[in-house]
Amino acid sequence: MTITCGIDWAEDHHDVALVDETGKLVAKRRITDDADGFRQLLALLVEAGDTVQAPIPVAVETARGLIFACLRAGGRKVYSINPMAVARYRERRSNARAKSDHADAMTLANILRTDADVHRPLPDDSELVQAIAVLARAQQDAVWNRAQLNNQLRSHLKQYYPAALAVFQVRGVGLDSREARAVLAVAPGPATAARLTRAQLRAALRKSGRQRNIETWVERLRTAFAGEYLHQLPLVEQAMARQTLALVAQLDAACRAADDLGDAAAEAFAEHPDAEVVNSFPGIGPLTGARVLAEIGDDRSRFADARALKAYAGSAPVTIASGKSHVVRHRRVKNQRLAAAGYVWIFGALPSPQVKAEYDRRRALGDRHTAAMRNVFNRLLGGLHHCLQSGQKFDPDKAFPTASAASVALAA
């Protein structure tokens, strides 16, 4: 008898349902989200015939939390089913739109009973790559948070402090730079900035870590802060300055978090055996490599072929055909983190002659910049899948034979 298990996740408890090959309910139970609940779940599975050689597969909507981490660590197949798919399966059995936690657990179990082959279990990634994923995703979140706070601070300064924007919104320097954060911490408003002496500005710049061109910076700041600008009312300006201090403190924390997590992710990535292969690709540094490896993992059976990886990353197009309509579009449903890392990857790889030639070829065919970048990412992603499967390093002449031949012809 084949048994499948479905678990409906909640904040402090989980509903468990086990069904046989006919869809008949074998057992059900509500467990707590703690060690005692995990023991109850294991006991329920054992009573249903669970063994080490043939563990009962488990389907969930959201595979997060300690219970599901322990299930994965035990070598059990855990399937994470998209909630939208669960809703469609629920409608197959009832049109009344009735919903309950127990019914959802049974729906999840029946999904595995009928359509396990069309759903993929969570990858069997190593402990190291799971740690890299935690660090890389946290660092990416910190970077996105930093960008959001930077935009928020810029919008706020525009309302009352244009001198700060004139100084720090220039090429190579931004509001999230160490110099900007240090100066805004001691001069959060135009009135305070105008009273700063050269010695105070010099001290703030040194405190930020700057060692070169300090006098040039001091003169730039003095000139900008002494300029003529429109002002808010004095009390309003003071209140806005207090808000700036709060935003600068948040931005400073986000910048430090992004830097610290980036160093930790790069160190963990360097310890992984796949790092040598990933680093052989042009445009991939330690942090980008950590982000890419975090999303694709090191379970070689996760992607059947390179096409599956490309679809997962969103670099492969999707075809929508119905009757006489036939449209090819870029994918919107994808791993957003891997797609974001891919854009950074290809942007850093453009100095490579072969990559630049492929990008120019796509542009000549009519692709816009983003589409050309996505197509180059698609090609390099296929090469990465091949190299990881075979254990060999990236060879630009094999990856871009046409571009290599063209460059040799130009050199001759």
Asked if 340 and 228 sit in the same domain, the reply is no
Model confidence band, residue 305 (pLDDT cutoffs 50, 70, 90): very high
Q: How many CB atoms lie within 10 A of CB 368?
A: 10
Closest CA to 190 of 148, 145, 158: 158
Q: Are residues 289 and 400 located together in one domain of the fold?
A: yes
Q: 22: domain CATH number?
A: 3.30.420.40
Which residues partner with 28 through β-bridges? Answer: 17
pLDDT category at 401 given cuts 50, 70, 90 is confident
Tell me what pLDDT residue 332 has: 87
**Domain final residue, candidates 213, 244, 267:** 267
Domain tally, the chain: 3
Is the pLDDT score of 408 beyond 80?
no
Residues 242-266: pLDDT tens digits? 999 999 999 999 999 999 999 999 9
Give the pLDDT of residue 409.
45
| Tokens found for residue 290 | 């950590």
Segment 104-126 shows an average pLDDT of 91
Whether residue 197 sits in one domain with residue 284: no
Among residues 230, 247, 267, the one where a domain terminates is: 267
- φ, ψ for residue 78, nearest 5 deg: -120, 125
Q: What is the pLDDT of residue 405?
A: 54
Q: How far apart are CA 160 and CA 193, in angstroms?
A: 13
The conformation of residue 118, written as its DSSP 8-state character, comes to: G
Give yes or no: residues 261 and 344 share one domain.
no
Alpha-carbon gap, residue 296 to 333, rounded angstroms: 16
Spatial separation of the C-alpha atoms in residues 41 and 39, rounded to whole Å:
5
Residues 172 and 209 placed together within one structural domain of the fold: yes
Last residue of a domain, one of 219, 244, 267: 267
Residue 389 DSSP SS3:
helix
Q: Nearest-CA neighbor of 57 among 13, 15, 113, 12?
A: 113
357: phi > 0 → left, psi -120 to 50 → alpha, else beta; which? alpha
Residue 274: per-residue pLDDT: 95
Could you give the residue ranges of the DSSP H alpha helices within 271-368? 275-279, 286-296, 306-313, 336-349, 353-364
Q: Provide CB contacts within 8 A for 345, sequence distance 6+.
A: 281, 283, 284, 288, 292, 377, 380
| Average pLDDT value for residue range 144-159 | 95
- Res. 367 pLDDT band, cuts 50 70 90: very high
Q: How far is the C-alpha of 24 from the C-alpha of 280, rounded, in Å?
A: 53
CB 202 within 8 A of CB 183: no
Q: How far is CA 251 from CA 153, 170, 259, 286, in A?
A: 9, 18, 12, 24
**pLDDT value at 411 more than 50:** no
How many whole angstroms from its chain centre is CA 389? 23
21 pLDDT higher than 80: yes
Three-class SS of residue 99?
coil
Same domain? 379 vs 280: yes
Q: Which domain holds residue 105?
A: 4-122
What CA–CA distance (Å, rounded) separates 142 from 34?
Answer: 30
With residues binned 3-state (H G I as helix, E B as strand, rest as coil), the percentages for the chain, rounded to 5, are 60, 10, 30
**Rg of the chain in Å (alpha carbons):** 28
Beta strand pairing status for 13-19 and 4-9?
antiparallel
Q: Examine the domain organization and report whether 216 and 156 are in the same domain.
A: yes
Residue 259 sits in the same domain as residue 156: yes
| pLDDT tens profile 223-241 | 999 988 999 999 999 999 9
The pair of structure tokens assigned to 159 is 């309302």
- Do 118 and 138 have their domain in common? no
pTM of the predicted model as reported, rounded to 2 decimal places: 0.87
What is the spatial distance between Cα 136 and Cα 272, in angstroms, rounded to a whole number?
14
Does residue 181 sit in the same domain as residue 214? Answer: yes
- Domain shared by 294 and 387, yes or no: yes
Kindly provide the residue ranges of all beta strands, DSSP E only, lying in 81-154, ordered along the sequence.
Answer: none
Q: What is the pLDDT of residues 171-215, one digit of tens each?
A: 778 899 999 999 999 999 999 999 999 999 999 999 999 888 899
Specify whether 282 is located in the same domain as 338: yes
